Amino acid sequence: MTKRVAIIGSGMAGLAAARVLRGSGASCVIFDKSRGLGGRMSTRRVGDLTFDHGAQYFTARGPRFAALVEEWRSGGVAAHWFGEAIVGSPGMTAPARAMAQGFETIMGFEVTSLRRESSGWSLVAGEASHGGFDAVIVATPAPQAAPILAAGGASFPALASVRYAPCLALMLAFDGPVAFEGGHLRPESGPIAWIARNSSKPGRNDSAKTFVVHAGPEWSRAHLDETPEAILEKLKRYALDLIGAPSAPIYAAAHRWRYALVEQAAGASCFWDAQAGLGACGDYCLGPRVEAAFDSGEAMARAVLESWGVHVAA
Ligand SMILES: Cc1cc2nc3c(=O)[nH]c(=O)nc-3n(C[C@H](O)[C@H](O)[C@H](O)COP(=O)(O)OP(=O)(O)OC[C@H]3O[C@@H](n4cnc5c(N)ncnc54)[C@H](O)[C@@H]3O)c2cc1C
């Protein structure tokens, strides 16, 4: 009988797990609280403007991720940006959309609890639920995974040691010329750690100049709980100096990433309670990179399959 797996989280880890499971005949349903796929590989669209306000690019070191990235490049959903940096095209969500093809995805569903029933696991979001799953994989950041796993009776103590750096992000657009001609900049001092001229990435429209600015971890921590308006005003001042814009931006907004970059990883590629049929994976298992999320998701699927007696080639 086909096993049914619920995957909570449509970021790189959840999608990587889903692909391997499907390859071995399991049926996966992917749930996410957001409206869009991709998790932190995200793109905000405002009219004709687009901003990759989360992950800026990715690199591929291992052969399995490199092979998938090559597929994306030849299929036009990813492109080379600079050095070893690859971006989704036309936005960072494009690879996630390609990976999710053919899966049932249930978006806008924030899982708050799990219930064990005679037909299997049920995922609960307020009054709504979806049931009949043989296994549940929680592919969210560790602090968001812990209460869901606890509701299902699973406990992976290593998740409590995971630490993330937050990141306060700024999105800016200009319809006139700006002094900043390059693609990206990493200032050596000051609150800003990274500026990208988003519109200079391959596959984007550079007629309006769009920028994504990331504050460094220290500044982000110190200002994390301020209002979006206060964050916007403070970061904008620093950013405008670096961008050199003679006129005011036509669009400006701030975004708070509470769990942005893994600072302290869990040190295991995934977590799986075979008896309960509950698992957890994500970048936090291995490190602060898209590829780490991919590796963790694939390891998760392999652990599930092996516990069902299905051998998967590495
Ligand atoms: C500002 C920023 C810059 C970055 N820059 C880079 C970079 O340049 N290069 C790089 O390699 N990596 C970068 N990263 C890190 C990279 O984005 C992550 O490592 C990777 O995308 C994590 O994937 P994931 O699947 O583990 O988690 P996520 O992408 O976070 O996916 C988790 C998903 O779970 C969903 N979810 C959470 N709780 C629930 C719930 N209760 N119910 C349902 N769904 C839920 C979320 O909505 C989300 O879609 C950056 C991240 C940020 C935020």
Counting from 1 in the atom list of ligand 1, the atom nearest the Cα of 290 is 11
Q: What is the DSSP string of 142-200?
A: HHHHHHHHHHTT---GGGGG-EEEEEEEEEEEESS--S--SSEE--SSSSEEEEEEGGG
pLDDT tens, position by position, 132-171: 999 999 999 999 999 999 999 998 999 999 999 999 999 9
Q: How far is CA 177 from the centre of its chain?
A: 32
Q: Which of 2, 1, 6, 3 is nearest to 103 (CA)?
A: 6
pLDDT at 245: 85
In angstroms, rounded to a whole number, what is the distance separating the alpha carbons of residues 47 and 112?
A: 33
Say if residues 278 and 152 touch (Cβ distance below 8 Å).
yes
Omega before 90 cis (within 30°)? Answer: yes
Cα-Cα-Cα-Cα torsion 282, 212, 77, 103, nearest 10 degrees, comes to: 40
| For the chain, the helix, strand and coil percentages under 3-state DSSP, each to the nearest 5 | 30, 30, 40
Say if residues 91 and 13 touch (Cβ distance below 8 Å).
no
In angstroms, rounded to a whole number, what is the distance separating the alpha carbons of residues 95 and 76?
A: 9
CA angle 152, 153, 154 (to 5 degrees): 95
pLDDT at 207: 85
The answer to whether the CB of 29 is under 6 A from ligand 1 is no
| Fold equal for 4-42+93-162+265-307 and 163-263 | no
pLDDT at 1: 67
pTM for the whole structure:
0.97
pLDDT at 25: 95
Domain extents for the chain?
4-42+93-162+265-307, 163-263
The answer to whether the CB of 89 is under 6 A from ligand 1 is no
pLDDT at 42: 97
Counting from 1 in the atom list of ligand 1, the atom nearest the Cα of 214 is 1
Q: How far is CA 54 from the centre of its chain?
A: 8
Cβ count within 10 A of residue 67: 10
Counting from 1 in the atom list of ligand 1, the atom nearest the Cα of 260 is 53
Determine which residue's CA is closest to atom 32 belonging to ligand 1. 140
The answer to whether the CB of 58 is under 6 A from ligand 1 is yes
The answer to whether the CB of 36 is under 6 A from ligand 1 is no
Using alpha carbons only, how large is the chain's radius of gyration in Å? 20
Q: Which of 132, 112, 136, 120 is nearest to 279 (CA)?
A: 136
Determine which residue's CA is closest to atom 5 belonging to ligand 1. 55
The answer to whether the CB of 298 is under 6 A from ligand 1 is no
Q: How far is CA 286 from the centre of its chain?
A: 14
**11 CA distance to ligand 1 centroid (A)?**
6
pLDDT along the chain (314 residues), means of 10: 94 98 97 97 96 98 98 98 97 98 98 96 97 98 97 95 98 93 93 97 91 98 96 95 90 97 97 97 98 98 96 76
The answer to whether the CB of 216 is under 6 A from ligand 1 is no
The answer to whether the CB of 283 is under 6 A from ligand 1 is yes
Domain spanning 163-263, CATH class = alpha beta
Give the fold, CATH level 3, of 4-42+93-162+265-307: FAD/NAD(P)-binding domain (3.50.50)
**40 CA distance to ligand 1 centroid (A)?**
3
**Which of 8, 30, 33, 40 for mutating ligand 1's site (highest number of atoms within 8 Å of CB)?**
40
Cβ count within 10 A of residue 100: 20
Determine which residue's CA is closest to atom 53 belonging to ligand 1. 260
Provide the residue type at 257 as one letter: W
